[in-house]
Amino acid sequence: MQGPIEVKTGKAMELIDITPKIQAAVSASGITDGICFIFNPHTTAGLTINEGADPDVRDDIIKGLKEIVPLNLGYRHLEGNSPSHIMATLTGSSLTVFIENSRLVLGTWQKIYFCEYDGPRTRKVLYRITP
Protein backbone atom coordinates (compact mmCIF):
# COMPACT_ATOMS: atom_id res chain seq x y z
CA MET A 1 0.00 0.00 0.00
CA GLN A 2 1.60 3.20 -1.13
CA GLY A 3 0.98 6.61 -2.59
CA PRO A 4 1.86 10.25 -2.71
CA ILE A 5 0.30 13.03 -0.67
CA GLU A 6 0.41 16.64 -1.79
CA VAL A 7 1.70 19.42 0.45
CA LYS A 8 1.24 23.08 -0.42
CA THR A 9 3.64 25.33 1.40
CA GLY A 10 3.06 29.05 1.87
CA LYS A 11 6.39 30.46 3.00
CA ALA A 12 10.09 30.28 2.17
CA MET A 13 10.59 28.15 5.27
CA GLU A 14 7.99 26.43 7.42
CA LEU A 15 7.04 23.16 9.09
CA ILE A 16 3.68 21.74 8.00
CA ASP A 17 1.85 19.10 10.02
CA ILE A 18 1.14 16.16 7.70
CA THR A 19 0.06 13.75 10.46
CA PRO A 20 -3.65 13.81 9.47
CA LYS A 21 -2.85 12.97 5.84
CA ILE A 22 -0.51 10.13 6.80
CA GLN A 23 -3.00 8.78 9.34
CA ALA A 24 -5.72 8.86 6.68
CA ALA A 25 -3.48 6.82 4.38
CA VAL A 26 -2.84 4.31 7.17
CA SER A 27 -6.57 4.00 7.87
CA ALA A 28 -7.34 3.56 4.18
CA SER A 29 -4.69 0.86 3.82
CA GLY A 30 -6.53 -1.59 6.04
CA ILE A 31 -3.18 -2.53 7.60
CA THR A 32 -3.78 -2.60 11.35
CA ASP A 33 -0.30 -3.51 12.50
CA GLY A 34 2.93 -2.67 10.69
CA ILE A 35 5.22 0.14 9.67
CA CYS A 36 4.66 3.33 7.70
CA PHE A 37 7.68 4.62 5.81
CA ILE A 38 7.56 8.23 4.60
CA PHE A 39 9.90 9.64 1.95
CA ASN A 40 10.57 13.19 0.76
CA PRO A 41 11.58 13.31 -2.94
CA HIS A 42 12.76 16.96 -2.84
CA THR A 43 16.29 18.25 -2.30
CA THR A 44 15.42 21.52 -0.54
CA ALA A 45 12.93 20.08 1.95
CA GLY A 46 12.88 17.50 4.71
CA LEU A 47 10.81 15.44 7.12
CA THR A 48 10.89 15.55 10.90
CA ILE A 49 8.92 14.48 13.95
CA ASN A 50 8.67 17.06 16.71
CA GLU A 51 6.28 18.78 19.13
CA GLY A 52 2.79 19.65 17.95
CA ALA A 53 1.18 21.16 21.05
CA ASP A 54 2.76 24.61 20.89
CA PRO A 55 3.09 26.11 17.38
CA ASP A 56 5.96 28.24 18.71
CA VAL A 57 8.18 25.14 18.63
CA ARG A 58 7.82 24.94 14.86
CA ASP A 59 8.80 28.58 14.50
CA ASP A 60 11.74 28.13 16.88
CA ILE A 61 13.03 25.16 14.85
CA ILE A 62 13.00 27.31 11.70
CA LYS A 63 14.64 30.18 13.57
CA GLY A 64 17.33 27.82 14.88
CA LEU A 65 18.04 26.27 11.47
CA LYS A 66 18.50 29.73 9.93
CA GLU A 67 21.11 30.50 12.58
CA ILE A 68 22.84 27.10 12.43
CA VAL A 69 23.26 26.99 8.65
CA PRO A 70 25.27 29.94 7.29
CA LEU A 71 23.09 31.80 4.80
CA ASN A 72 26.08 33.38 3.07
CA LEU A 73 29.31 31.46 2.81
CA GLY A 74 30.59 32.01 -0.69
CA TYR A 75 28.50 29.09 -1.92
CA ARG A 76 29.13 28.10 -5.54
CA HIS A 77 25.70 26.68 -6.49
CA LEU A 78 24.22 29.41 -8.69
CA GLU A 79 20.58 28.91 -7.72
CA GLY A 80 21.43 30.52 -4.38
CA ASN A 81 19.62 27.91 -2.29
CA SER A 82 22.60 25.99 -0.91
CA PRO A 83 21.48 26.64 2.70
CA SER A 84 18.21 24.86 1.85
CA HIS A 85 20.14 21.85 0.50
CA ILE A 86 22.25 21.74 3.67
CA MET A 87 19.13 21.87 5.84
CA ALA A 88 17.72 18.95 3.82
CA THR A 89 20.81 16.88 4.64
CA LEU A 90 20.71 17.84 8.33
CA THR A 91 17.02 16.90 8.65
CA GLY A 92 16.96 13.72 6.60
CA SER A 93 14.87 12.33 3.77
CA SER A 94 12.70 9.66 5.39
CA LEU A 95 10.78 8.70 8.52
CA THR A 96 9.79 5.35 10.00
CA VAL A 97 6.65 5.20 12.15
CA PHE A 98 5.09 2.07 13.66
CA ILE A 99 1.39 1.23 13.30
CA GLU A 100 -0.74 -0.42 15.98
CA ASN A 101 -4.53 -0.86 15.88
CA SER A 102 -4.58 1.08 12.60
CA ARG A 103 -3.02 4.14 14.29
CA LEU A 104 0.40 5.72 13.88
CA VAL A 105 2.38 5.12 17.09
CA LEU A 106 3.57 8.59 18.07
CA GLY A 107 4.58 10.04 21.43
CA THR A 108 2.10 12.25 23.28
CA TRP A 109 3.45 15.49 21.81
CA GLN A 110 4.72 14.22 18.47
CA LYS A 111 3.51 15.31 15.06
CA ILE A 112 4.93 14.47 11.63
CA TYR A 113 6.16 17.54 9.77
CA PHE A 114 7.07 18.34 6.20
CA CYS A 115 9.92 20.85 6.32
CA GLU A 116 9.86 23.45 3.56
CA TYR A 117 13.25 25.12 3.11
CA ASP A 118 12.82 26.77 -0.31
CA GLY A 119 9.16 27.63 -0.77
CA PRO A 120 6.49 28.41 -1.30
CA ARG A 121 5.90 25.42 -3.58
CA THR A 122 3.59 22.52 -4.20
CA ARG A 123 5.43 19.48 -2.88
CA LYS A 124 4.69 15.81 -2.53
CA VAL A 125 5.57 13.18 0.03
CA LEU A 126 5.58 9.44 -0.64
CA TYR A 127 4.46 6.80 1.84
CA ARG A 128 4.56 3.05 1.91
CA ILE A 129 2.78 0.93 4.48
CA THR A 130 3.83 -2.66 5.20
CA PRO A 131 2.38 -5.25 7.61
Residue 96, H or E segment: strand 94-100
Which residues are CB-neighbours of 21 under 8 A, at least 6 positions away? Answer: 5, 7
Of 69, 70, 71, the closest CA to residue 87 belongs to 69
What would you report as the CA-atom Rg of the chain, rounded to the nearest whole angstrom? Answer: 15
Q: How far is the CB of 98 from a copy of itself (least distance, A)?
A: 5
Pick one of 10, 24, 109, 120: the residue that binds a copy of itself (CB under 8 A): 109
Q: Is 23 in the site for a copy of itself (CB under 8 A)?
A: no
Binding stretches for a copy of itself (CB under 8 A): 2, 35, 37, 39-43, 48-51, 54, 56-57, 59-61, 63-65, 67-70, 73-79, 82-83, 85-86, 88-98, 105-110, 126, 128, 130
